[in-house]
């Protein structure tokens, strides 16, 4: 049980995973409530060419991921403005183009060995830079989500009503996507391009099944993310499975467990019976 904790590499892995889990669980609640899970997944995949270029150039992945995510966000915004192009079509075209470009670069002769860690992450071997950027992400998200809490809550609840209150739904959307982009570029180094979205969606989706207030939802999402992260790392340690994939698997299991638990939660069953009727 405590054996993995003796290993220095596992201590670092647990520290990195716990920081990413705190960030992913908390921010994920807003991703789920704003129904931008698809955007999260898209942003994650579209930074792949930036990661590959950074790997080829031998610079920190963060420096490749950041311009790529900005480029993807701008391309999506522009594509959605083209007449006759709906938003999800715009997203799909941009993401497949970017991801395809990344694959093309990854398969080029210049690409260094070990490119698959960009896809699946390297949660078991975080660098000092990874740990520092994950810690900085937690601080950034903690401050931003604390300050923006009321606005995010009111805007997600009722956009028209929020506008009547003098709030800007566009501001809330932009703030959320910028924080999400920051979260993804940091977390992608540990969890990989294909799996990073799991930590930004899974724990929060599970928490939503288990809670009916935003405060408890965030707390439960963070707890599920941290525990799933630990479970995944332990699985990886003892069974020898890939770290990022094991964490993603643990998150999926937590979500599946939340489904039946959510159904037996007090009050939950009353929702559809009571809604719309007066008594």
Contact residues toward other proteins (CB under 8 A) are: 33, 146-151, 153-154, 156-158, 160-167, 171, 208, 211-214, 216-217, 267, 270-271, 274-279
For residues 218 and 152, is the Cβ–Cβ distance under 8 A? no
Residue 113: CB minimum distance to other proteins, A:
46
What gap in Å lies between CA 169 and CA 157, rounded to an integer?
A: 11
What gap in Å lies between CA 202 and CA 193, rounded to an integer?
A: 16
CB closer to other proteins out of 40 and 214: 214
Q: Counting beta carbons within 10 angstroms of the beta carbon of residue 15, is it exposed (0 to 12), middle (13 to 18) or buried (19 or more)?
A: middle
Residue 142: CB minimum distance to other proteins, A:
14
Residue 94: CB minimum distance to other proteins, A:
23
Residue 278: CB minimum distance to other proteins, A:
4
Residue 277: CB minimum distance to other proteins, A:
5
CB closer to other proteins out of 89 and 147: 147
CA-closest candidate to residue 197, choices 138, 247, 237, 155? 247
CB closer to other proteins out of 30 and 48: 30
CB closer to other proteins out of 7 and 212: 212
Residue 166: CB minimum distance to other proteins, A:
5
For residues 9 and 125, is the Cβ–Cβ distance under 8 A? yes
CA-closest candidate to residue 72, choices 57, 51, 58? 51
CB closer to other proteins out of 239 and 275: 275
What gap in Å lies between CA 219 and CA 223, rounded to an integer?
A: 6
What gap in Å lies between CA 131 and CA 141, rounded to an integer?
A: 15
CA-closest candidate to residue 250, choices 233, 268, 272, 267? 233
CB closer to other proteins out of 125 and 262: 262
């Amino acid at each position: 049980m405590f054996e993995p904790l003796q290993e220095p590499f596992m201590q670092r892995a647990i520290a990195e995973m716990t920081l990413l889990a705190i960030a992913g669980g908390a921010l994920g609640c807003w991703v789920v409530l704003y129904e931008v899970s698809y955007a999260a997944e898209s942003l994650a995949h579209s930074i792949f060419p930036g990661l590959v270029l950074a790997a080829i150039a031998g610079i920190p992945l963060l420096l490749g991921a950041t311009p790529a995510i900005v480029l993807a966000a701008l391309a999506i915004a522009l594509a959605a403005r083209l007449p006759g192009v709906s938003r999800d079509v715009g997203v799909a075209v941009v993401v497949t183009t970017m991801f395809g470009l990344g694959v093309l670069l990854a398969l080029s002769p210049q690409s260094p060995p070990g490119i698959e860690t960009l896809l699946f992450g390297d949660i078991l071997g975080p660098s000092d830079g990874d740990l520092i950027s994950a810690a900085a992400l937690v601080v950034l998200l903690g401050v931003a989500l604390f300050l923006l809490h009321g606005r995010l809550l009111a805007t997600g609840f009722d956009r028209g009503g929020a506008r009547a209150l003098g709030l800007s739904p566009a501001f809330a959307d932009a703030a959320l996507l910028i924080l999400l982009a920051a979260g993804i570029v940091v977390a992608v180094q540990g969890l990989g391009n294909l799996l990073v979205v799991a930590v930004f969606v899974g724990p929060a989706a599970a928490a939503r099944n288990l809670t009916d207030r935003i405060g408890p939802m965030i707390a439960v999402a963070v707890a599920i993310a941290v525990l799933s992260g630990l479970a995944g790392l332990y699985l990886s340690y003892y069974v020898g499975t890939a770290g990022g994939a094991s964490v993603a698997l643990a998150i999926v299991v937590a979500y599946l467990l939340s489904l039946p638990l959510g159904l037996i939660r007090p009050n939950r069953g009353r929702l559809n019976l009571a809604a719309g009727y007066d008594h």
